[in-house]
Amino acid sequence: MQRTHGATGNGMKNRLKVLRAERDWSQADLALRLDVSRQAVNAIETGKYDPSLPLAFRIGRLFGLRIEEIFDDGTSGNAQA
């Protein structure tokens, strides 16, 4: 079943874990900055949950990157898991 954003992930790859590690942030640190739970950060990092567009924009702003530089839907090949 095809799912939309804000739902269970389609395994969309992202660089969240790498970006977080570069800043020496824990999942809890990132969760606090994004105002979500640690579970949400973990689920996004592992591709089990695709963030909504507003959250994706918040993530992009936090890291100073465009959304497609963080998330990869499998067609652009930008992001690495």
Partner 1 sequence: MTGPAAMLKPDDRESTKGIHNALLRTALLMLGGIALIFGVGMIAGLLSAHWERGGAIDARLISILICVALAMAGIALLMWRQMRAAVRSDQALNPRERRNRLVLTIAMAVGAAIGFMLALSGGLDGGPGPISLSDAPLPPSVAVGLAAIVAIALPLLSYYWHRRVADELEAAAYREGALMGLYTFWVGAPTWWLLWRGGLVPPPDGVVIYLVVTFVAGVVWLRAKYR
Q: Which of 10, 13, 40, 60 binds partner 1 (CB under 8 A)?
A: 40
37 binds partner 1 (CB under 8 A): yes
Which is closer to partner 1, CB of 42 or CB of 78? 42
DSSP state of 50: P
Which residues 43-62 are close enough to bind partner 1 by CB under 8 A?
A: 43, 48-49, 51-52, 55
DSSP state of 29: H
Cα–Cα distance, 14 to 45 (Å, whole number) = 7
7 binds partner 1 (CB under 8 A): yes
What are the tokens at 34? 């994004």
Give min distance, CB of 25 to partner 1, in A: 8
Inter-residue contact 41 to 14 (CB < 8 Å): no
